[in-house]
Structure 1
Amino acid sequence: MNKNKLFLLDAYALIYRSYYAFIRNPRVNSKGQNTSAVFGFVNTLEEVLRKEDPSHIAVAFDPPGPTFRHVEFEAYKAQREATPEDIKWSVPVIKEIIRAYNIPVLEVEGYEADDVIGTLAKRADKERFDVYMMTPDKDYGQLTEPHIFIYKPRYGSNEFELMDDRRVTEKYGLSHPGQVIDLLGLMGDTSDNIPGCPGVGEKTAVKLLQDFGSIDNLLKHTDQLKGALKKKVEEHTEQIRISRMLATIKTDVPIEVDEDLFMRQQINDEALRTIFEDLEFRTLLSRVLKEDTPPPASKVPVQGDLFSLFNAPVTPDSSDAVALPTGFTDLGSTPHDYRMTTTEQERKELAALLSAQKEVCFDSETTGVDPLESELVGLSFAFREGEAYYVPISADREHATNEIAIFKPFFENRDIVKIGQNIKYDILQLRQYGIQVKGKLFDTMIAHYLLNPEQRHGMDYMAESYLQYRTIHIEELIGPRGKNQKSMREVDPSVVKDYAAEDADITLKLKNILEEEIIHNLVGHLFHLVEAPLIYVLADMEWTGVRLDLEALKELSWQYSAELESIEHEIAAMAGMPFNVNSPKQIGEVLFDRLRIADKPKKTKTGQYKTSEEELEKLRNRHPIIEKILEQRGLKKLLGTYVDAFPLLVSDRSGKVHTSFNQTVAATGRLSSTNPNLQNIPIRDERGREMRKVFIPDEGCLFLSSDYSQIELRIMAHLSGDSNMVEAFAKGQDIHAATAAKIYKIPLEEVTGDMRRKAKTANFGIIYGISPFGLSERLNIPRGEAKELIDEYFVTFPGVKQYMDNSILQAREKGYVETLLGRKRYLPDINSRNATVRGYAERNAINAPIQGSAADIIKMAMIRIFKRFEEEQLRSKMILQVHDELNFNVFPDELEKVRQIVTYEMEKAYNLDVPLVIDLGVGKNWLEAH
């Protein structure tokens, strides 16, 4: 080997590879920038510099504009999709980073990076360099020689495949590397739109080259070919020659090997620091610039003999290393000190140690995913990075309760901050064992959600994104999902120890990063005063649960089943034939082939008629059968999703349903609920409303429902400052009637029901950026009338139009919009060239601040009410939240107190320029109260 090692990197090949490596879970920073390509490229570069220590290095880019290949063959690379906007943004950033590394950026007009690298490789080889062409592209094989290598990154690994001329010829079955040109000329290359010869794949191309040696010789002896292959080669002779030309990498580009320029230099620390800080690459700052590196875990015994009771610290063993993505680590390659307590004395000493801390991260291992039905298997704790403790818990309930009780003073200490990932689950789990967690909370899942609402928030994903760390996955312990999956109770505690302790340790590390991020991104107020305190509120609501009238559900099931059967008979009669009304295919055939209710019905890609609810709504007035089909679908969904499903979700322990409220699902900030989903109970039709009758209070109690009145319109009035809208709310007018009066220019008392209906639809529709077409569809009026209605609306409320325009402008400038409390909604598509995609982002720019502010306000109201109930020591409970509505189980002797608290705290939750008003009702069930 030669003394000098020259690495030549094909920039775009590596950038695209990095971008698509993260395509399912892109890295997006708090500014909404997709940094996947940049992060992947830097990691790859770092890996090369660390592993290979090149003496010389350069990075080649394709120049803007056409190259000689485009001139020769217009279709060259023509079918490639447009470069993703995120890659376009990444390229200048990557160039800036490369220059901060003091590595030359190479571009030669008219030539691709392949040609620049090919030329330099051949010339550097003559100057006694070992040359490493870093690329995943196979066409570089033609350049290989004993001292010219392809240095190819392996997908999903931090390893690289090294290929010299011998390896290339062996891999493709060729006699020399130059035949790679002819190989690609025959088989083509779809990524570069090199057509090759139709019908000739790699195997056929290799066989032809083994038989004829080259394309030139093949084309001279096509008479020796037979059948279809002979015909294809002869018919595409010119195309084969063009393909060979396109596949040939030039080695005579006007560029020289500048040994001084390419020599490895010291990096520009200050420039790199500025770039990494701006991109929020904190782990790269630590790894590359050796800044803010956490101190190693203490190896000195502390707190008496506590540490001596446990296992010795673990240091990485390279023999256990598993292939990881470039730049990633895992438990086997990371120093750590994870310990397990096995005796009562150890538990007591650990509990005392925890109680002496200011903040502690904890996690629970359980037998299932439902915290109200599963049992604790173990608890893990961490308060210093790199150290963690695991406490196995007995399967015997009495013993388990005693073991956990040792930690009760710690958990219920209000002065200790409790850290966790989805900590509400752990709070509910501990409540089963008589422990009420207290103190401030830091939930990493919620913190990440505030920073990146559109992303995933699981610990495994965050560990990879922020720490470049691959965690132990639970499937490694209990197996894949399915009937053969084990319970955590069945896994040996010594095996669970590393998994559980790692969870606590990694969550603590993430907390230390995310805490700075939420401050830096100005969402600390939202996190600490709204989202974190709300965890306790939601945990209590879930624990309390909601009572269902099972007899009423049974009656509804019988009633709706009979109605469903009757409707299906009516549909068959209208169709003039029996058919399966649950089959979209058969519905399409009946509607469009038999009844011919549309001239040009839409079809799916498979040729089947489109019969979705959205499509059928557009055809509702074409035939009475449509109305019945929609009614049948709604009733069937009501039965399957709610009426027949709810009884199965009633807990044996409590006799109630315990929905799970989610804080990190809806990007708008709204809560969602699962198991069951109580947010989507239909209320538009009579049957849906009837469903609310089955939600009842506890025996001897009342059901109280309190709903914000038109909160989103009130927020619009506040944000827009429109004087007409503010005045209407300030006077307590019916906003829809007032809107109609303004639009139609008539006195308020002359507004008809139809006018009010249209104004109401316009009021709510415009918040969601409705178009004239959409409004005409919704109101069943001509599009011209809908356009006039919208135009007149904006004349009436000019401040609303100004707000909408400003919101879109802000989103274009900043990449996000904000709620009243600073909740950010990132809109990466706001500047998209695709009008449909951009339009969707623009509508979100208008609506997200309104819907998100409404979500923030009701969350603040929930926290205030919960606190007041605790202070007043009320037995009544908040039990449900559905969008802008709160529901309560109320003891009769507390009714007036609850009514007073709920009204005051909801209406005073936030000070808008217009009053917040609620509608409050009380009854024997949800329907009566609502």
Structure 2
Amino acid sequence: MSKKLFLLDAFALIFRAYYALIRNPRITSKGKNTNAQFGFTNTLFDLINKEKPTHLAVCFDTHAPTERHTDFADYKANRQEAPEDLLESIPDIQRIIKGFNIPVVEMDGYEADDVIGTVAWQAADKGYEVYMVTPDKDYGQLLIHPGVYIYKPPAFGNPAEVLDAAKICERWDIQRVEQVVDMLGLMGDAVDNIPGIPGVGEKTAAKLLKEYDTLENVLANADKIKGALGEKVRNAVDLAVMSKKLATIITNVPVEFHEEDYRLKEWNREALNEVFTELEFKTLGKRILGEDFNSFHAAPQGVQTDLFGNAVQTPKTTKSVKSAEPVEPVSGPETEQAGLIAEKNINNTPHHYELIQGIDAIQQLIIKLSGQREICFDTETTGTDANNVELVGLSFSFKEGEGYYVPCPQDQQEVQKILELFRPLFEQDQITWVGQNTKYDLLVLKWYGIEIKGQLFDTMLAHYLIEPEGRRSMDLLSAQYLGYEPVHIEELIGKKGKGQGSMRDVELEKIKEYAAEDADITFQLKQVFVPLLKEKEVAPVFENVENPLVRVLTDMEFEGVKIDVDFLKQYSKELETEAKRCEESVYAQAEVRFNLASPKQLGEVLFEKLKLDPKAKKTKTGQYATGEDVLLKLANQHKIVDDILGFRELTKLKSTYVDALPEMINPKTGRVHTSYAQAVAVTGRLSSNNPNLQNIPIRTSRGREIRKAFIPREEGRVLLSADYSQIELRIVAAISGDPNMCEAFRQHKDIHTATASKVYGVPESEVTKEMRYKAKSVNFGIIYGQGAFGLADNLGISRTEAKEIIDNYKKEFPNIQRYMDEQVNFAKENGYVQTLVGRKRWLKDINSSNFTVRGYAERNAINSPIQGTAADMIKLAMIKIHHEMKTGTWQSKMILQVHDELVFDAVKEEVEPLKELIIRCMTTAMPLPHDVPVEAEVGMGSNWLEAH
């Protein structure tokens, strides 16, 4: 077997790992960000597992200055401060490396790339294949040495990539790999603040090297280079020479490659177990250590550990102690439970779970339950689609450590008989019913004709308001707040061939433990969350918005919407024909057939064969960027771009919506029943799946056509579509109190025309279509952090014009900027922002010294109250409409919610009074400050498109 040495550039990989997860960070129950630790460990383990190195080392920079800093005081001076979370990750990562028994190589006075370059060449001389693991392009210069390669680990869905000298030359458009340092000397490196020759970029540098071969020759022939370029070169000779020196990796660092020091050894599994447990790497720890994970610190047989690890005598057998997966932190004052990792499980925790079978036993349980003020309940079913499952059993708990499980037979008539026994209990309105994702259980029972009348307390929604960005499965919440590891469903049902088994395959004793435990845990979580809701001051949002909405969404999901299958079949054929026409048109214009779905091949056709953009950008993988944003800018240059965009849209519409929707029809109802997710979007907005209604495109005529497939369920009905008018801008006006914007809405003006009039200083009657379009872009863009550069790019105008528009906007609407500044300052002082009804979003990075991380938090500080208030408003409207329709004799139904729109399946005779009810409820659901009016419109049609 060949000897393979892998040398890891530690900080390059750590930074990459941290930023890869920055929009969805991994946070432990103690509030620790583990992006970098998780990403680095994943990369390291995958590399060991897949590449099978025989030797390996990790190389770090040290804090000591290098010769480069002596030569050039500003070397790396423009680098922003590393995020605090990233810096705090380094000791953990060093412990992980030590746990893997991998050597760390570093040397004061030298950078990691110098150490790697030196060791790489020494090892290659000894016959090793050497792979330098880094995303850094500067390492290409080291490939002059045979046997040395760059290994770019997988990133952003792209596979790992091994680069040799030929690929480096191709990527840089140079003839010899030695020219990498010449390129850097000419063009500089903004990341390291290496100046290069001002005004010389990558393409110009490559062109100069084609003609003069080396930087030294370029400088020697500076007098022969004509025009402005020659002047730039002549004015920067010293800078260029210094830049090449700064960019040159040193390969004679005083380190020695001793083979045995670098050989892979047995891991210190106990050390890895300890750090993985601290970092709450539950799944990753299990993947790396297998059954050993957490077993090192498990209590001995016959000994139970309490919440804090103290031994307690018990006759039960212990299971391996397991840790919780990362959960977003409780921002603000921490509770005692919030920092705990699972130390308890069903085998080491006292409990009493009963299996309830037979009419007499069920009736005795009902008597016991009837005397309780609050009861936790849960359903066990044959699947996950609440609209298409059978009930397997019911579980209940009303006291910590106690639970009851009532199994149901397969005979559905017998199931109905059991539920009829429970009906009077479920209809007691003085009982509070506790559940985790209660919408699912309400929906299951609704299919059996059972409705729960009492108050609800959903632990999932409570946690959603306490920690909006957290994950909130039962396992995670149990581990985080109770220190308890519940039984996993997979442990019960196992695998059956290629699929999962069924709950019906599991013996009753096991189901009893699992189901009663779920009810017990959920009941305990409720006791933890009630004080937390008050402590975080979000109890009113829970009680008035999220909890009442559960019943609304239950009824909407139960109703579903009818789909016109014949229309979709015909539309699918039309899309296929049109897509084929676009595809053939692309091939004809390109004069070559290729894989149109391949970004790599498409980029080569557009930018190498057709040369549509001489400044075309490449992605990190070296291929041309061909995303929609890139193509839209080229659309006016060549018809082929329109055909490519058309092909993409047509094929996506066909596969994602037109062909998929008929497959989602429920066999019991003949309708599609979307599932609404109430606890996902941090802003408070609802999301949906199967189908995802939010993503059904409406910006193009082809996309809008899909809405024709949504139709009334039967003759004598129509669809109504109710939509808020410019609700987010009305909220901006209201919460900022800007006098000009508030007045425009109070006078019921077109807000974009009114804005254009102010910005351009012309009467509203003289506002052109183009002026209104630009004003609209500013209205929607400025509150989401769009500056002059973004506006210029969006509108295709100069940055100067964009800046002038924004400056005028801020002058005419001064309170908008004041609102933005105040929100950021409030967040910096309090750590959160909130909506008008009090929904909070915690912003832990708002005071970060890293401007990238801080900037993201600042943008959220500005737009979260706006988006969140809009979400709260439509939720309150839905609750109000649902209540009035339930207390009346309406046959019409509310069936869909998408963004700021509600859809109703209405009986024709009820249309006019229903319109009045809808508009009244929507416009009064949440009155806005400063008397900013809320407006809504209702349309009607034989399908959703027509109604909208």
- Same fold, TM exceeding 0.5? yes
Please give the alpha-carbon distance, in whole angstroms, between the structure 1 residues aligned to 2:82 and 2:772.
49
Separation in 2, partners of 1:394, 1:352 = 22
Give the alignment partner of residue 613 of structure 2, picking from 598, 609, 620: 598
- Report whether the alignment pairs 1:888 with 2:904: yes
Residue pair 1:830, 1:838 contacting (<8 A) in 2 also: yes
Unaligned ranges ≥5, structure 2: 1-17, 39-60, 70-75, 127-147, 149-250, 261-305, 324-340
> How far apart, in 2, do the equivalents of 1:795 and 1:346 lie?
75
Q: 1:875 and 1:723, CA in 2 relative to 1: closer, same or farther beyond 3 A?
A: same
Distance (Å, rounded) in 2 between the aligned partners of 1:685 and 1:832: 40
For 1:190 and 1:137, locate their aligned partners in 2 and report how far apart those are by CA, in whole Å: 19
**Partner residue, 1:518:** 533
Query: What's the CA shift string for 1:612-650, capped at 9, x where partnerless?
Result: 223323333332222221121111111111111111111
TM alignment of 1:836-875, pairs within 5 A? 836-875=852-891
2:936 aligns with: 918
Shift of the 784–412 alpha-carbon distance from structure 1 to 2, 3 Å rule, reads same
Could you tell me which amino acid in structure 2 is paired with residue 810 of structure 1? F
From the superposition, tell whether residues 861 and 138 of structure 1 become closer, same or farther in structure 2 (CA, over 3 Å). closer
Superposition map of 1:729-878 within 5 A: 729-878=745-894
Distance 2:728 2:616 in 1: 37
Cα distance between partner residues in 2 of 1:70 and 1:481: 59
Describe the shift of the 1:241–1:409 C-alpha distance in structure 2 as closer, same or farther (beyond 3 A). Answer: same
1:647 aligns to what SS in structure 2? helix
Report if the CA contact (8 A) 2:307-2:343 is conserved.
Answer: no
Shift of 1:604: 2.8
Instruction: Give aligned-pair identity as a percent.
Output: 47
What is aligned with 2:129? none
Q: 2:82 and 2:770 mapped to 1: Cα distance?
A: 50
CA spacing shift, 1:243–1:807, aligned 2, 3 Å: farther
What does residue 491 of structure 1 align with? 506
d(CA) in 2 for partners of 1:36, 1:236: 36
1:562-593: per-residue Cα shift (whole Å, max 9, x none)? 11111111111221222221221211111111
Confirm or deny: 8 A CA contact 2:897 2:903 kept in the other structure: yes
SS of equivalent residue, structure 1 residue 373: coil
| 1:26 alignment counterpart | 27
Q: Secondary structure at the match of 1:880?
A: strand
Structure 2 distance, partners of 1:83, 1:385, is: 46
Shift of 1:831: 2.9
Residues 82, 850 of structure 2: 8 Å contact kept: no
After superposition, the Cα gap between the structure-2 partners of 1:878 and 1:836, relative to the gap in structure 1 and judged at 3 Å, is: same
Q: Which amino acid aligns with 2:858?
A: E
More displaced stretch, 802-811 vs 775-784: 775-784
Say if 1:542 and 1:352 are closer, same or farther in 2 by CA, change over 3 A: same
Name the structure 1 match of 2:557.
542
Does residue 1:710 correspond to 2:705, yes or no? no
Alignment partner, residue 301 of structure 2: none
**In structure 2, the residue corresponding to 1:887 is in which secondary structure?**
strand
Give the partner amino acid of 1:884: D
Give yes or no for the alignment of 1:879 onto 2:900. Answer: no
| Pairing of 1:498-509 with structure 2 (within 5 A) | 498-509=513-524
| C-alpha contact 1:28 1:35 (8 A) present in aligned 2 | no
CA displacement 1:241-278 (0-9 Å, x = unmatched): 9999xxxxxxxxxxxxxxxxxxxxxxxxxxxxxxxxxx
Q: Closer, same or farther in 2 for the Cα pair 1:138/1:539, shift >3 Å?
A: closer
Is residue 429 of structure 1 aligned with residue 444 of structure 2? Answer: yes
Whichever residue aligns with residue 470 of structure 2, its letter is: Q
Provide TM-score, normalisation by structure 2. Answer: 0.69
Q: CA deviation at 1:527?
A: 0.3
> Which residue identity lines up with residue 751 of structure 1 in the other structure?
V
SS in 2 for 1:679: helix
SS at match of 1:333: coil
Pairing of 1:96-495 with structure 2 (within 5 A): 238-240=254-256, 316-317=314-315, 319-325=317-323, 328-479=343-494, 483-495=498-510
Count of residue pairs brought into register by the alignment: 706
SS at match of 1:922: strand
Query: Where does residue 151 of structure 2 map in the other structure?
Result: none
The SS at the match of 1:410 is helix
- Residue 670 (str. 1) matches residue 668 (str. 2): no
Aligned residue for 1:769, secondary structure, equals coil
Q: Which amino acid aligns with 1:320?
A: T
The SS at the match of 1:433 is coil
Q: Deviations over 1:694-717 (max 9, x none)?
A: 111121111111100000000000
Q: Specify which of 890, 895, 908 is matched with residue 924 of structure 2.
A: 908
2: CA distance between counterparts of 1:928 and 1:556? 17
Displacement after TM superposition at 1:378 (Å): 1.1
Superposed CA RMSD:
3.9
Could you say if the C-alpha distance between residues 332 and 710 of structure 1 is closer, same or farther in structure 2, counting changes exceeding 3 Å?
same
CA distance change for structure 1 residues 777 and 335 in 2, over 3 Å: closer, same or farther?
A: same
Alignment CA distance shift 1:640-1:521 (3 Å)? same
Instruction: Tell me the residue number matched to 2:135.
Output: none
Corresponding residue SS for 2:672: coil
The one-character-per-residue Cα deviations of 1:299-320 (angstroms, maximum 9, x if unpaired) are xxxxxxxxxxxxxxxx954533
CA deviation string 1:816-860 (max 9, x = no partner): 211111111222333334433333222221111001100000000
Query: How far apart, in 1, do the equivalents of 2:894 and 2:814 lie?
Result: 40
| Unmatched segments (≥5 aa) in structure 1 | 1-18, 41-65, 92-112, 115-134, 140-153, 156-170, 173-179, 205-227, 229-234, 245-285, 291-295, 297-314
Aligned to 2:713: 698
Is 1:928 the counterpart of 2:946? The answer is yes
Find the aligned partners of 2:738 and 2:921 in 1 and give their Cα distance.
26
C-alpha distance in structure 1 between counterparts of 2:898 and 2:253, whole Å: 69
The two structures have a TM-score, normalised by structure 1, of 0.70
Displacement of 1:680 in angstroms is: 1.3
In the alignment, what sits opposite 2:282?
Answer: none
SS of the residue corresponding to residue 332 of structure 1 reads: coil
Q: Rate the CA distance shift 1:807–1:342 in 2: closer, same or farther, 3 A.
A: same
Give the match's secondary structure for 1:822. coil
- Structure 1, 582-591 or 367-376: larger mean CA deviation: 582-591
Q: How far did 1:781 drift?
A: 1.7
Is the 1:184–1:196 contact (alpha carbons within 8 Å) kept by the matching residues of 2? no
Who wins on radius of gyration, i.e. which is larger? 1
The C-alpha deviation readout for 1:366-393, integer Å capped at 9, x for no partner, is 1111011111111111110111111111
Distance of 1:519 and 1:481 partners within structure 2: 46
Task: Check the 8 A contact 1:618/1:777 in 2, yes or no.
Answer: no
CA distance in 2, matches of 1:590, 1:191: 36
Is 697-706 or 607-616 further displaced after alignment? 607-616
What's the CA shift for 1:73?
12
Contact 2:83 2:848 in 1 (8 A): no
Q: Given residue 788 of structure 2, which amino acid in structure 1 is its aligned partner?
A: P
Q: Distance in 1 between matches of 2:518 and 2:775?
A: 53
